[in-house]
Copies of this chain bind each other. A is one copy, B any other.
Amino acid sequence: MGELFVVSPASAFVAAAAPAGGLSFVGLLAALTAIYIASKALGEAAERIGQPAVLGELVAGVLLGGSVLSFLDPGEHTIHMLAELGVLILLFEIGLESDLGELLRLGPQSLMVALAGMAFPFALGWGVMALLGATSVTGIFVGATLTATSIGITARVLADMGKIGSPEAKIIIGAAVADDILGLVVLALVKGLAEEGSVSAASALRMTLLAIGFFGAALVVGRLAAPRLVKVASAMRVRGVLLVSSLSLAFVLAISAHAVGSATIVGAFAAGLALASTERKVSIEERIRPLSDFFVPIFFASVGAAVDVRFFNPFDPGRRRTLAVAGLLLVAALAGKWVAGFFAYKKGTKLRRSAIGVGMIPRGEVGLVFAGIGLSTGVVAGDIYSAIVVVVILTTFVAPPLLRASLK
């Protein structure tokens, strides 16, 4: 699917400094400086007008990206790697701040939210496409693009609001992890459907069990390894061992997750959860925080920089049909996750269930990958693809203010 990944022209300055095959070192320093200044300035501005800081960071990315200033190219190899490290470290940090017992206690509710949050957007997306007269393979594909939650945005808003310990946050995080585990199974199935025309129930079951089994195994291995790791780190004289050994655990579980077809962030989250139960939890958190401050803005700026603002021009007649289709799919995407929040039912508990649904709204890379496969196999036409891209962008931008409002 190489043709989908368009590399934006770098700015004159960066281009001048760029050797064949990537950014020069001073080009990287310039990009990082621009990301930090723009992200913090706009993040602060967002805070001051009562919006989540991450919204400002996303807007900073849009401004730095190819369609406005052309200063930041999220497809550049090193920037992309740093951004991926950013979301990995963010999920590791979230795991470190989570409590496995609590997550398990709220597990049934998380799982219900995750399953409902996949079923409703899928059905609604399919329904919209059926109304528009599309075939059922196209409908299934579009429905699938609306299923996967991108947890990064929501996690940042929850952390910034100091709500990461609330029951709502725990259900959202649990559901998002379940969603990440199951979402990649759906991806594999849909990809099989596009390529072969059918999918066997046996392979669907095998993939599902493998993905779930991995997460369980990662938690067990992590819980066994973490106390030993911390003990060894404490006995060593050289500097920085606690930090890099904790990160190494996260990296090893991330690589393992990837190897069984899950997302790397699932492994990093499991490592964070495992280390959260050790006596050095607070020390690890203190050391991870500056790394998170360094890497995470690169991730959010890259997400923003991938947006092409010209997509949203309603005065361009060529965009209008795309925007209309996008509008219908956006309703399906928002309503489907919002309804799912109400499946977090447990007698006697008082939960802000609309906040849970809203927390599941942001879609991210996985949805775009689905759409990209659909486009390259011809199952999804160009205008539908563009509409899906618009929906993914809009879910990312509407979720932070909605989440903040619903948690206040």
Contact = CB atoms under 8 A, between A and B. Distances in A.
A33 B240 CA distance: 14
Given A6-B7, A244-B36, A30 B258 contact: no
Contacts of A15: 84
Contacts of A78: 77-78, 81
Interface string A53-83: 1000000000001110000011101101101
Interface stretch (A102-110, A248-256, A345-353): A248-256
A1 B6 contact: yes
Binding site secondary structure of chain A: helix
Interface stretch (A167-175, A328-336, A366-374): A366-374
A368 B264 contact: no
A90 B83 CA distance: 22
Contacts of A14: 1, 369
Given A80-B8, A264-B12, A254 B26 contact: yes
A241 interface: yes
A261 B4 CA distance: 29
A408 interface: no
Nearest to A393: B5
A163 interface: no
A386 B8 contact: no
A291 B366 CA distance: 30
Contact of A6 (B29, B258, B308): B308
A386 B21 contact: no
A289 B10 CA distance: 24
